[in-house]
């Protein structure tokens, strides 16, 4: 089956994306640094600065991956839910909770399943939106 055929339907695309990110999950943080030439750290800091979360803010990090954005938001005092469709990514994000970071809630789900109303109530961030469609 060709790639075009595999991603021709929303369900096929979700399965394909989930398989790819499951495959690279354990090396995802390293790959991100390498492919961005180390710029990802600066981009993430800039995103958090622009979001300017307050201590009482709630944030939803769509396509959270291993949780870097979610943890940065939480470190600024926000209550954070990190959402990803890849089980291994969620496992890795949850494992980071024990590394002296402010805890987040990491949830396995596709954001396309969320009711639109929730997205209007919570500040959202997404650095990889297309992969979660």
Tens of pLDDT, residues 28-70: 999 999 999 999 999 999 999 998 988 888 888 888 999 999 9
- pTM of this structure: 0.79
Q: Note whether 127 and 68 are within 8 A (CB).
A: no
The DSSP code for 131 is: G
CATH architecture of 3-132: 3-Layer(aba) Sandwich (3.40)
Looking at the predicted structure, is the pLDDT value of residue 126 above 60? no
The DSSP code for 102 is: P
Which range, 19-23, 51-55, 108-112, 129-133, is most confident?
19-23
Look at residue 125 in the predicted model and tell me its pLDDT. Answer: 52
Strand order of the β-sheet with 123-126 is: 105-108, 79-84, 58-62, 123-126
Per-residue pLDDT tens digits for 63-120: 899 999 999 999 999 998 888 989 999 999 988 887 677 888 888 877 666 665 455 4
Burial of 75 (0-12, 13-18, 19+ CB in 10 A): middle
Look at residue 39 in the predicted model and tell me its pLDDT. Answer: 94
Q: Domain residue spans in the chain? A: 3-132
């Amino acid at each position: 089956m060709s790639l075009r055929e595999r991603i021709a339907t929303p369900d096929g695309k979700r399965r394909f994306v989930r398989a790819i990110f499951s495959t690279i999950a354990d090396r995802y943080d390293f790959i991100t640094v390498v492919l961005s030439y180390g710029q990802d750290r600066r981009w993430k800091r800039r995103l958090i600065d622009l979001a300017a979360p307050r201590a009482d803010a709630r944030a939803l990090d769509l396509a959270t991956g291993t949780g870097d954005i979610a943890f940065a938001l939480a470190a600024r005092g926000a209550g954070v839910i990190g959402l990803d469709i890849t089980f291994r990514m969620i496992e890795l994000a949850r494992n980071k909770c024990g590394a002296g970071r402010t805890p987040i809630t990491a949830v396995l789900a596709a954001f396309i399943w969320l009711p639109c109303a929730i997205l209007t109530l919570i500040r959202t961030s997404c650095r990889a939106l297309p992969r979660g469609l």
